[in-house]
Amino acid sequence: MGLSRIKLMSSLIALGLLLLIPQAMADEAPPSQECLAYAYTESESHSFLVRDNSSNFGNVLKVVTDCESIELWVDGERAVFSNKTAFSYQLEQGLYNLSLVADGFEENYSYVSFYPDRLEWRYDWIQLNGGGIEMIEAGKATIQENWASFLSIMITWFLSTYVYWQFVQTYVQRNFIEEVKS
């Protein structure tokens, strides 16, 4: 019986060790990158993150990073080298291949489309449709509002009085009794 007890004990110890091995492997930290960076554009109050095959509105590319230094490559040519945590780069409307390269970090973005800011579209639309918008003075607008209010009150009073008068006339005509003498 002593031998079977030793086999049972050794089996339990072996099973315990096998169960601890995956836990020890899980406690190891995953390899981390040296730094991170991302790029985006803005149009009015909207932000557009740069990624593969993305459409971005606004022509100012903003790069944010925690790297010591970073390079921005546009269509295979180095456009910016920066030691700052954030910088901006002006782009024209079009399709680009972008790369952010730093020590231990590289991110490539293919076929990124950039479109003009929405405010530029509004300006172009106004120019195509006859130049500009006619503005009126605030005093004239207030006078027009006052006249519109006064006239709508008068029209409402007239219509309600007329309708009420017609109801009264109809009632009187129906209930009118004429005395006939023979």
pLDDT tier at 28, thresholds 50, 70, 90: low
pLDDT at 29: 47
Determine phi and psi for 132, rounding to 5 degrees.
-155, -175
How many Cβ atoms are within 10 Å of 169's Cβ, its own excluded?
10
Res 63: pLDDT: 92
For the beta carbon of residue 121, count every other beta carbon within 10 angstroms. Answer: 13
Q: What is residue 100's predicted lDDT score, i.e. its pLDDT?
A: 92
Query: With left for phi above 0 and alpha for psi between -120 and 50, is residue 72 left, alpha or beta?
Result: beta
Sheet holding 60-65, edge to edge: 46-49, 37-43, 60-65, 86-90
Domain boundaries, the chain: 37-124, 137-171
Condensed to tens digits (0 to 9), the pLDDT of residues 118-165 reads: 666 666 776 777 665 677 889 999 999 999 999 999 999 999 999 999
Which pLDDT does position 67 carry in this prediction? 87
- Give tens-digit pLDDT for 33-89: 578 899 999 987 888 999 999 989 888 999 999 888 899 999 989 999 988 888 999
pLDDT value for 18: 65
pLDDT of residue 158: 94
Indicate the pairing of strand 60-65 with strand 86-90. Answer: antiparallel
Q: Which residues pair with 38 in a beta bridge?
A: 64
Q: What's the CA dihedral at 6, 9, 11, 17 to 10 degrees?
A: -140
CATH architecture of 37-124: Sandwich (2.60)
Contact 113, 56 (CB under 8 A): yes
